[in-house]
Each structure stands twice: as C-alpha cells, then as structure tokens.
A and B are shown apart, each in its own frame.
Chain A
Amino acid sequence: MGKNNKNTTEKVILKHDHFQTLIDLLKEREYRIVGPTLGEGAIVYDDLNTVDDLPIGWTDDQDGGVYRLKKRNDRAFFGYTVGPHSWKKFLFPSQLRLWKARRDENGFHIENDKNEIRKFAFIGVRSCDLHAISVQDTVFMHGIYSEPNYKARREHTFILAVNCGMAGGTCFCASMSTGPEATSGFDLALTEILQEKGEHYFVVETGTELGAEILLNVPHREAKKEEIHAAETIIKNTSQSMGRTMETKDIKDLLYRNYEHPRWDDVAKRCLTCANCTMVCPTCFCTTVEDVTDLTGEHAERWRKWDSCFTMDFSFIHGGSIRASAKSRYRQWMTHKLATWIDQFGTSGCVGCGRCITWCPVAIDITEETREIRKSEQTHSPNNSIKEGNNNENA
C-alpha cells in the first residue's frame, strides 16, 4: 500500500464499465490481482483476470453454521459480505517452507530458496478486514522482531476497499467499531451504487498517493453532493442492519472476572475442537513448525503451517497438553480474542467479521457466549459467579 495521505482529493465517480480499466492498470504495474470470485458454492478469494471473474449478481445468506449463495436481482459487483477466505491466505500463507537444507561430506548447507514474491492487489477488502490486516501488521511487523515473509508481501500490497452495501447475518463490525465504512488502510475505497434506472457506479475515495496515481488514468468525474449522500446513506443502513451485536463495554475485565464460569462447560459440550473458527479468523496468527527429512537423509526442510489453540499439540509441553479439555481450549481462544489481546497488542483481536460464527460447523457464536456470561452477572452478583465455577481444574 502507498503512503497514507488523508487530506486527499475529493470523492469521484467511477462508472461500472470502467472497472476493467482499473484492473488493467494494476495488471500493467505487475500486480497479482486477487479478489472475490465464485468457487465451490461460496464467494472465495482467488486470482482475478477480468471484471467478469467477480461474483456479479450474487450474494450470500449467512447465519451460525450456515452459508448459502443466492442470486441477487441486480448485477452488483460487491453485493455480498465476507466469505470463508480472508486476505491472510495471501499475506500469511497456510503452509510455507521456511528453508531447505542439504547434507553432504562437508556438512549441512542451507540452500538458497528465495521465491520471488509477486506484489498483490487486493480487490474488494471490507472494513472489518482492513482492521484485521492492521491487527496482523501489529503482530508481524510492529514488535521487536518483524516477520520477513509477511513484511515482504505486505509492504507492496495495493488495497482497493469496498464499503459494505449490506451486512451479513453474522456481521457485527458496528459493535467493534471496525466498519462497515473503510476509514483508513486503503489505497482506494469504493461505495457501490445501483439505481433502479440501471445506473451503476462507484463513489471513490482516495487513501494514498498511489491510489490517486492509479485513479488518474481511469475515467472518472467529480462526485455530486447527492451521489456522496447516497453513498453515506448506504453505509448508514448497513451499519443499522448488523446480523449480530456485541456489547464491548468492560469486556476485558468481564472475561477476566469470569475465568471460572459454568458457561465454559456449556460451550465445551458443543465445541468440536475442530479449529475452524481459528482458521477462518482473519486475525488468528498461530503456526506450528514441522521439520522433515527425506528417506535419503540428505535433504531437510522446515515448514511453517497454520496452527490452532484448539489442538492438543498446541499446548503440549513435557508431560502432556496443558489444555486437554475442550473447555480450556475454547476459553483460551475467546479470552484471547476479546481480552488478553488488548493487553498484548493494544487492540481487540476480534474485528467483528462474523466468520467464526458462520464457519463453525455447530454454530457456536462468540457474541452469544459473551452475552450469556454478561447476563449471568446481571442476575447474580459477580461473587456468586466466581463461586459457581471454582475448584475446577484448568484442564
């Protein structure tokens, strides 16, 4: 992404039939263009060649454990919400070889294994995901050490954001103050407008000099007041139609106070410890490292793979797993997302995208689990709720 320059240009109008020009310009600059497209019964993120690869005229219906593609009655380019994939699959690949080595008479040699990383252009990034990218930036780039693979990918990424024209059944960005309007972290941001008379255009906001530079070569005109107003109305409506809500007041202390709570036993009965929630979460960053040798013993490789706090190996130390029970694993995950993350990185680890709710095979809902714990405090005094669950072993 280019340098942020917030006092940028006025909003402009880009006609839908000039969207291809935008893609072509990015291609000319040798970006690998990735964005939403139809695949395996969902809207996934993959390579885009032309505007026709977008899920034009499609939308999704989402609820806990359920996702269904549906036809829209218009030809919207971005008329859906976030799906099973997140942008982390590009910036933070699920499986990555860190190095390979060879052994011969003279010893052990690390082989040169530098893959040329193409720079990405992300098309259609939603506000929740902009926040998620920023969370991962903090984790991978802004600490004492930075992660070179992530950094190499991230630094050259072009981001075309889209303000959401609808909220999904599991979205709750409004509660987390992470959407639905893209406010920073993009090169260009669009609001898609479809009018009954068939007019179809985008209100474009520029976020960086790079964005401005690209836009310069795409036919556009200054936006009229009513067009800007129409875009604002869309975002306002989206913000008022969130499928889920989450009260965040005092959330860190709420969870710290309720480390022992019967609700954790309840969710443990339902939780499959399958790890889907962590895999789909755009902020989850845990990995495991596998060292492999081949049969000859002359080659070795080190691979990094997405891991999850829901596996037994994750907390395995000498003697066994620290979090052997489903209860301790779910509690670890949810408490990390909503509470300890704040101490660790200064922000919430949850951006309210709703993926963990939709893609949990048994519809476990982070907003509901939080609500139930909060509710119990309103009916019992906090002292009571501590008593109810204590003496339980942690694992």
Chain B
Amino acid sequence: MSVQALHAPEVDAPPDARRIDVRGLCKTFQLAGTAIEAVRDVSFNVRRGEFVALLGPSGSGKSTVLNMIATLLKPTSGQILIDGVPVIHGRATPNVGYVFQRDTLFPWRTVADNIGYGLELAGVPVAERKDRVNACLKQAGLEGFGNAYPSALSGGMRQRAALMRTLVVEPQVLLMDEPFGALDTHTKIDMHDVLLRIWEREQQTVLFVTHDLGEALTLADRIILFSARPGRIKESFEVDFARPRNAVKIRETPRYAELFQLIWHSLGEEFIKGRKP
C-alpha cells in the first residue's frame, strides 16, 4: 500500500455505527472584551470501538473540542451527539469517561479511595467496590499502594491511578486529554502498553488528544490532524498497524518511520503557523 493511499477522506461511518458524532462545532471565547476563535467548524465522527487521536500543535483547540464533547464547555454553535443523543452542557453523559490533561486525583483520598470514587457515587456495595478496586490496582501495577495518598506516588503512578479512576466504572466512551503529556518518554511508552492492553480487551471508543505524533501513531486507528488556531481539521490519516500492538516494537518498524515522516511534515507546518501571533 502506498503512503498516499492512507489519506483517508472524511468518510462518514453509517449513522448507527457512529458513537461520537460532531457536526459544525465552533467555539469563540470572550477574553477581556476580545473574541478568540478557538475552534472553527469542526465535524468528524468516531465509530464504535474505534481509537481516534486528535493531533495538533499547542493552542489549536484540541482540549476545547474534547471539553465540549465532555460537556465541560458549551459550544458557540454546532452539535455533538453521543450514540445519537445530543449532549447537554454541564450534565455528565452516562458511559463517557474523561481523563484529564492535569492531575486531578483527590489528594485527600487514598489511591484506593480515588479509584473507587465513581463506584462510591453509584452506590456500589463496599465488598464489590473493594474487589473491583483491587483488580484495577493490580492492572495498573499499583499493588501495595492502595492505602497511600497520591502525594506519595510518582507522576507515572498517579497517571495510572487517574486512568483507573475513570476506567473502574467501565465507560464505553473514553475521552483523554494528553493523559501522558507530563511523563518522560519511557514512562509514557509503558503507559501506552497499559492502555493498549486495556483497550484491546474492552474495545472502548476512544478519542485521544495529543500533540505527540509518536503517541498518536502507537495508539490510534485514525489520526485527525488539527490546524493552528483557529482549530480546524486539516487532514485525517488511517493508521494500519496490526493489533495487538507493542508500543516499543512498533516504533522500530519501517512503516512507523514512513508514516511518521509523512504526518510530521504536515504537523510541522501547523507548528510554525501556530508560533506566529
């Protein structure tokens, strides 16, 4: 297959296969009297069980788009449907989990209590909660840290705990905003493997925001490339590595280098544009 053939046009999945459906999304912020256009007319959709990465330079409106989908921000215009139902600003959509760009573990709860938080809210009985939390601790390699407070954990461990806090309630849609952005390269690749294993088993629909091309290539089925501000969709690429993937090995294949180079060029243009005022 040639590299060019990978340019996927914005093919629409049939409506009943669309888990996340975004149409004509715009967002303009008012900041001290001036209007900042962060997102301009963004439309895309994510199929059931698909892993899509939103890639773009800093300030290109990736978080803004994700936050609108997560109901944290109100779109200026446009429509967001999850499983065909419009989302409502300020009201959490059931079955949708969100992993933050920033560490938001509750410092006053132990790691186990942080992970069990969603279950506690849902009124899951203590015994069952304990089992599920323990399973999560094990999966995240955090055995023995259940009773520690987040302040006693390293950055990578905290991010794993944060991931588990979202996953414990078994959401079918996962919105992730640069969840590994603050980690060093090796820890990051470890986390990719953790996430890949979970995703291969659970097959959630994932929308993953990142500005790290390597990360997007490792994880995603499809990469949506954002332009510099105002954020628009510039291009879209299918990533056809076989699954299950290995986060380390995949980086050593010629195919990876080929794709990397192709997208890198396009992304680089946007980084340069983004730097100009």
Do A and B pair up? The answer is no
- Contacts from B to A (Cβ < 8 Å): none
